[in-house]
Amino acid sequence: MLHGIRLEYFLILATLMFFVGVYGFLTRKNLITMLMSIELILNAVNINFVAFNKFLFPDKLEGHFFALIVIAVAAAEAAVAIAIIINIYRHFSNINVENVDEMKY
Amino acid sequence: MRLEDFLLMRHEMLLTLMVVIVLIMEIFMDDRHKRCIRPWTIGLFAAVTIIGFLPAPTGTLFGGMFQTSGMHLMMKNILNIGALIVFIQAAQWLKLDSNHNKISEFYILILSTLIGMNFMISSGDFLMFYLGLELASIPIAALAAYDTFSNKSSEAGIKFIFSSALSSGIMLYGLSMIYGTTGSVYFDQVGSVYTGTPLQVLAFIFFFAGMAFKISMVPFHLWTADVYEGAPVNVTSYLSVVSKGAAVFIFSIILVTVFRVIAPLWQNVIWVISVLTMTIGNLFAIRQNNIKRFLAFSSISQAGFILLGVIGGSTLGMASVVYYVLVYIFSNLGAFGVVAAISTATGGKENISDYDGLYKTNPGLSWTLTLALFSLAGIPPVAGFFGKFFLFTAVAEQGYYALLTIAVLNTIVSLYYYLLVVKAMFINKSDHPIAYFKSDGFTKLGLAICIAGLVVIGFASPIFEFIKSLSFGL
């Protein structure tokens, strides 16, 4: 199955995904895209957990459990966030983050 | 495992039961009687709070995922008291016609976050900790956006959910590295293997950044003021005391159990962060005109003071943190209670300039707010002074004299802006002061509890002694 693919590659992939997510969160203007960036961050975490579990501690399953829980919680978070985004759309008639700036400083 | 072992989770089970009861009341009561949900929930929750004080067994559950001790129970009881006062103060606001259809939602969401906080405090491993943290923060986003027809409320909701999701993502990345380097997620096992290699220190920094968001330490504080201003007042008061208190509790527990080995490192980090938090919170509070925003920055600087107790990691330090949070609950909820009463009665007057001449028209509310602000500032006869005193003692005990000096200077600065509000109420003249209004029984009860707490806790030394006897440190 994973012959020849070493742990480092998974970690590099996860790190890249994490920072792509952070970069996307900070630069994107659309609220849905920002939400997608957060999902990227959480999936990077999942890759980390599963890879560590598979390669370093194969006799226990804590990393797998953690990844499963993170997936479930991310779904709940996305549900609440999207509900609020719909509400934002009703008030501001768009979901550009730069328009949601009634309160500052 | 026996059935009696579940009694260890008494707080959590009672709260879950409460959620179910409120849900059933919502389903089976017809629309005209929905308002009766308020007294019933408050009564039941008062009973739950009192039951929480009965002696309880201690131990661990689920192979160490859940742990409880005297200190954990004390923390949970403090959070229960805070939530109870919020419930009582919110009753008048929930009676408004615009909230009539969602009374039970408010209670269910707050009770869910309280369950999350209890599990978070009692967690014995990072998995349970993460679950509790998310259960404690996701419903708060829904609460912040509670006012469906207000732009600001939904703006507060989106700002809260995005910053909390990003911060927990960052924290999880740190947790994954901790798991990778130690091979466990249990606090005690991680604590015994954790040696402070560079990767583990990096993991700690990620974890610290995530927690700093929740406690709103500078430089991770930017969401605080916006969310506090936009959310309904009663949600803000819950967010500022109970939610922050729970995060501080588990933060200090994790620092002394898991990151014991790198204590000198995190003490340096907290030194810098607490100075920044106190100072920047204070400086920004001076220039605010919206009272909720003002209290938001004041709560940021209070978080800096709370960190003073965490820094030593000593028994006295943790006891003073818990005691300070208890005092902080009464003082901040006293202030927010008055703000909420005025905001509900006047239809949203929330500027400090609106409070000009309040003493002439509403002397009772003015005195309550004054007492609460004095307690936040730490002026002697009220409990806030003793809270600050114990924090400063804990810092001095560890020998951080420079930090102590900065903290005392910050206390003086904070005195200035708290007195600005008092001056507005008592001295400033106004052509159109807020007219006299009569609060209902719930608001009066809520404020009376806060005043009683402020006066009694300061003089009842057994409370601090009791907390200290339960406390643990490095």
What ipTM was estimated for this complex? 0.94
pLDDT at B376 over 80: yes
Q: Distance between CA atoms of A75 and A81, rounded to whole angstroms?
A: 10
In a domain, A104, yes or no: no
Q: Distance between CA atoms of B391 and B248, rounded to whole angstroms?
A: 14
In a domain, A105, yes or no: no
Distance from CA of B202 to the nearest CA of A (A): 13
Taking an 8 Å Cβ-Cβ cutoff, which residues of chain A contact chain B?
A: 14, 18, 21-22, 25, 31, 34-35, 38, 41-42, 44-45, 48-49, 52-53, 56-57, 60, 62-63, 65-66, 69-70, 73, 76-77, 80-81, 83-85, 87-88, 91-92, 100, 102-104
Give the pLDDT confidence of B151-205 residue by residue, as tens digits.
899 999 999 999 999 999 999 999 999 999 999 999 999 988 888 899 999 999 9
**pLDDT value, residue A105:** 59
In a domain, B281, yes or no: yes
**pLDDT value, residue A1:** 55
CB contact under 8 A, B161 and A80: yes
Model confidence at B349, pLDDT cuts 50, 70, 90, reads: confident
**pLDDT value, residue A2:** 60
The ranges of chain A with pLDDT < 50 are none
CB atoms within 10 A of CB A27: 10
Distance from CA of A22 to the nearest CA of B (A): 8
For chain B, what is the domain count? 1
CB contact under 8 A, A102 and B185: no
**pLDDT value, residue B467:** 85
B336 contacts B295 by C-beta, under 8 angstroms: yes
CB contact under 8 A, B225 and A77: no
- Which residue in the set B142, B177, B179 is minimally distant from A80, CB to CB? B142
| Three-state SS at A96 | strand
Q: Which domain holds residue B331?
A: 262-474
Distance from CA of A16 to the nearest CA of B (A): 12
In a domain, A103, yes or no: no
Question: Rg of chain A over CA atoms, in angstroms?
Answer: 17
Model confidence at B333, pLDDT cuts 50, 70, 90, reads: very high
More confident residue, B119 or B348: B119
Percent with pLDDT over 70 in chain B: 100
Cis amide leading into B219 (omega within 30): yes
Give the pLDDT confidence of B207-248 residue by residue, as tens digits.
999 999 989 998 889 899 999 999 999 999 999 999 999 999
Taking an 8 Å Cβ-Cβ cutoff, which residues of chain B contact chain A?
A: 126-127, 130-131, 134, 138-139, 141-142, 145, 148, 151-152, 154-159, 161-162, 165-166, 169-170, 172-173, 175-177, 179-180, 183-185, 225-226, 229-230
Task: Give the residue from B419, B416, B240 showing the smallest Cα distance to B336.
Answer: B240
B162 contacts A81 by C-beta, under 8 angstroms: yes
Please give the backbone phi and psi of residue B67, each rounded to the nearest 5 degrees, phi first: -135, 150
- For A46, the token pair is 């999942």
- Which residue in the set A56, A65, A100 is minimally distant from B183, CB to CB? A56
In a domain, B373, yes or no: yes
For chain A, what is the domain count? 1
In a domain, A102, yes or no: no
Give the pLDDT confidence of B290-302 residue by residue, as tens digits.
899 999 999 999 9
Q: Distance between CA atoms of B153 and B228, rounded to whole angstroms?
A: 10
Taking residues B52-79, what's their average pLDDT? Answer: 90
Give the pLDDT confidence of B16-62 residue by residue, as tens digits.
999 999 999 999 888 888 888 899 999 999 999 999 998 888 888 88
- Which residue in the set B130, B157, B179 is minimally distant from A62, CB to CB? B179
Give the pLDDT confidence of A4-22 residue by residue, as tens digits.
788 999 999 999 999 999 9
**pLDDT value, residue B306:** 93
Q: Distance between CA atoms of A97 and A89, rounded to whole angstroms?
A: 11
Burial of A48 (0-12, 13-18, 19+ CB in 10 A): buried
In a domain, B204, yes or no: no
Q: Distance between CA atoms of B51 and B71, rounded to whole angstroms?
A: 16
Give me the CATH number covering residue A19.
1.10.287.3510
More confident residue, B275 or A99: B275
